[in-house]
Amino acid sequence: MPRLPLYALGLLLCLPCFAQERALPQPRSGFEFLGTDVKAMQQDDFSNPGMFWVERGAKLWSEPAGGAGRSCQSCHGAAANSMKGVAARYPSIDAKTGRLMTLEQRILNCRTEGQQVSPPAYESEALLSLATYVAHQSRGMPIAVSIDGPARAHFESGRKLFFTRFGQMNLSCAQCHDQNWNRRLFAGPVTQGQPNGYPGYRLEWQTLGSLERRLRACLSGIRADMFRYGAPEHADLELYLAWRARGLTIEVPGVRR
């Protein structure tokens, strides 16, 4: 893996960023950039700390809740059957509202409308556990989002965000994850920024977090204002990232540094 000095990386990141795709030679999961110790942690369900959230999600799936007294299972049945492949298709357009929803937003919608309970907060244990449990049912399946019909406008918005410079450092997602991936920044490699391991456990956080949290961390890192949790910009960007990662398989719960 070529090593790039910090001053040289800074010069490269200041180069003009053209608002068009630079086709990646092949999508590569963040897993491929991990050391052998962290790879082993993700691959072993007994060592993967994200499996605690899967277990909590399984319990929440079968627990009745709210005024309706219904559980997720009472509507959807066994998650291993009904949720298989679902996460691979998100974000997706809600047929009733025409709104683009992430997997977490779909779960929040089900909790409020189907179970009639107060929605859990973003990054709460309840929401992360349910999202991780549902996404885990698609582990090993290729990402296959749709960008047709009403989703197209959201896809174009997400693509624009990916190539837009933000913050005091005046950087875009593309400058790091398209133009400089496989180089090194400080002690770690620059990855392609693929979303297929989220919700995932980050050693840096010492906990599990959503893809939205990771996107907000990137914005914070370049000293930019962060979009609020649940903002449509996040859903649009997640759709573009999922399209960009098409063919990669779901790894939830991923483990990342």
Instruction: Please say whether the beta carbons of 132 and 252 come within 8 A.
Output: yes
Taking alpha carbons only, the member of 136, 132, 137, 215 closest to residue 173 is 215
- Per-residue burial over 43-80, b if 16 or more Cβ lie within 10 Å, else e, is eeeeebbbbbbbebbbebbeeebeeeebbbbeebeebe
| CA 256/CA 187 separation, integer angstroms | 14
Q: Which residue out of 14, 17, 176, 218 is catalytically annotated?
A: 218
Taking a C-beta distance cutoff of 8 angstroms, is the pair 50, 208 a contact? yes
173 labelled catalytic: no
Please provide the distance, in angstroms rounded to a whole number, between the alpha carbons at the two ends of the chain. Answer: 18
CA-to-CA dists, residue 166 to 4, 51, 110, 191, angstroms: 23, 35, 34, 19
Catalytic residues: 218
